[in-house]
Amino acid sequence: MATKSAKPLRLTALHLENWRNFTLVDVDLQQRVFLVGPNAAGKSNLLDACRFLHDLVAVGGGFKEAVVKRGGVSKLRSLAARRYPDIAIRVKIGSDENPAAWTYEVSFAQDNRQRAFIKRERVTKAGVTIISRPDDKDDADPERLTQTYLEQVNANLEFRAVSDFLKTIRYLHIVPQLIREPDRSVGKINDPYGGDFLEQIARTTEKTQKARLRRIGDALKVAVPQLADLALWRDEIKGTPHLRGKYDHWRPQGAWQTEEQFSDGTLRLIGLLWAILDGTGPLLLEEPELSLHPEVVRFLPQMFARIQSRTGRQILTSTHSTDLLRDDGIGFDEVILLRPSAEGTTVSTAYDRSEVKALLDSGLSMADVVIPLTRPAHAEQLSLFGG
């Protein structure tokens, strides 16, 4: 019998204070998470908190860079923040068996020259504090508080596992037009919008690349039955990589098309499937349902589940899709509801709210309960725009 492989670490809980449009968030995260809420409720902002942690440790990243990239502390701080204006992010990292193997916490504010500085940084391992800042050295030299220990190899030795884990977080929101016109994003590396997507595929070893494209090609046939083959080739003059697909039609040989001719849905699905196969860390997805047929969307949660039972990879995704939420296998604790209020958006799992729990227990589908709950208050007013 095969031995049980150790599942990778995942984010097991997220705590935010004054982060963008959230005053306070305290939520457990399962291996698969669906974020549901009206437009501008902060689904992307919640995912961005995870990206922020990734940016702390990314190549060319770091605390200062991560804050500046987001427009500075004043842009990051919740408008509803009042008495305790520090921005704080705390995550638990672990597994089902040991959900709090690690915790990492950082809080920060800005000085009177609008520079971000760290108010607090704390790491625990199995409940024991390893790092707690500000420490004596920080008191002696306040300049040190412009960098986290997390991002410094000299300082993070005892919790390198946390830093290595956060590096594996990946965010994806494929914009098909950027794949078709890579010139728009020249020089970007691991662009979440797909600008260097074809380069990413080309960078993998030939064996892996072929195996993955074959798997993706097989899966794609479900959504795009006329697609017979999928391959990568390089333009011999410019050296740029291109995807091409062979389409069956009345000519016996079929016809090859490149990514420029692929439909939006095909490109998004290729991007999604590639991202799922590429990497092991938490994958953050923005509305994977975009441009896809509802019958395809409906099977996304099942596909995620099957990938996860093999690899243990965490997938966090925002969605507006009734079809996606219709899946009976989605656990009540896997759905996170975002509801805007005057005091910032409130966040809870579907099961934490008694009115939601009552409806779900009565047998209504997740879609039937959650979509009406998170609908904008006056959606019908939009029709009046037409005059």
Partner 1 sequence: MKPMAPFPVVFSAAVEGPTDEVVLRRVVESRGAVLGPVFGKTGKSNLLNQLHRYNRAANLSPWIVLLDLDQDAGCAPSARAAWLTTLAPQMCFRIAVRAVESWLLADRESLAAFLSISGSLIPATPESLSNPKETLVNLARRSRRRTLREEMTPRPGSGRPIGPAYTSRLIEFAQTQWRPDVASHHSDSLRRFCSRITELIGNQA
Task: Considering the complex, state which of residue 83 and residue 310 has its C-beta at the smaller distance from partner 1.
Answer: 310
- Whose CA is closest to 316, among 268, 352, 276, 256? 276
Task: Considering the complex, state which of residue 40 and residue 358 has its C-beta at the smaller distance from partner 1.
Answer: 358
Using CB under 8 A as the binding rule, the residues of this chain from 339 to 368 that contact partner 1 are 351, 357, 360-361, 365
Task: Considering the complex, state which of residue 41 and residue 292 has its C-beta at the smaller distance from partner 1.
Answer: 292
Site track 12-41 with partner 1 (rule: CB under 8 A), x = hit? ------------------x-x---------
To the nearest whole angstrom, how small is the minimum distance from the Cβ of residue 96 to partner 1? 8
Which single residue is written with the structure tokens 């047998």?
Answer: 363
Distance CA 335, CA 329 (A): 12
Asked if 373 touches partner 1 (CB under 8 A), the answer is no
In sequence order, what DSSP letters do the residues of 145-210 get, joined into one string? GGS-STT-TTT-GGGHHHHHHHHT-EEE---HHHHH-GGGGTT-SS-TTSTTHHHHHHHS-HHHHH
Which single residue is written with the structure tokens 């987001």?
Answer: 70
Task: Considering the complex, state which of residue 32 and residue 133 has its C-beta at the smaller distance from partner 1.
Answer: 32
To the nearest whole angstrom, how small is the minimum distance from the Cβ of residue 188 to partner 1? 34
Among residues 306, 358, 372, 375, the one that binds partner 1 under rule CB under 8 A: 306
Identify how many contiguous H helices and E strands the chain contains and give both numbers. 14, 15
Among residues 85, 142, 329, 372, the one that binds partner 1 under rule CB under 8 A: 329
To the nearest whole angstrom, how small is the minimum distance from the Cβ of residue 299 to partner 1? 7
Distance CA 314, CA 280 (A): 8
To the nearest whole angstrom, how small is the minimum distance from the Cβ of residue 296 to partner 1? 12
Asked if 1 touches partner 1 (CB under 8 A), the answer is yes
50's CB contacts (< 8 A; 6+ apart) are 11, 14, 91, 169, 171, 282, 284, 316
Instruction: Tell me the number of residues near partner 1 by CB under 8 A.
Output: 29
To the nearest whole angstrom, how small is the minimum distance from the Cβ of residue 258 to partner 1? 32
Task: Say if residue 134 is preceded by a cis peptide, omega within 30 of 0.
Answer: yes
Asked if 254 touches partner 1 (CB under 8 A), the answer is no
Instruction: Determine contact, residues 301/319, Cβ cutoff 8 Å.
Output: no
Asked if 331 touches partner 1 (CB under 8 A), the answer is yes
Among residues 86, 138, 278, 333, the one that binds partner 1 under rule CB under 8 A: 333
Asked if 327 touches partner 1 (CB under 8 A), the answer is yes
Task: Considering the complex, state which of residue 111 and residue 218 has its C-beta at the smaller distance from partner 1.
Answer: 218
Asked if 310 touches partner 1 (CB under 8 A), the answer is yes
141's CB contacts (< 8 A; 6+ apart) are none
Beta bridge mates, 316: 33, 284
Indicate the pairing of strand 315-319 with strand 32-36. Answer: parallel
- Whose CA is closest to 170, among 90, 22, 279, 15? 279
Asked if 298 touches partner 1 (CB under 8 A), the answer is yes
Residues near partner 1 (CB under 8 A): 1, 4, 30, 32, 298-299, 301-306, 308-310, 326-334, 351, 357, 360-361, 365
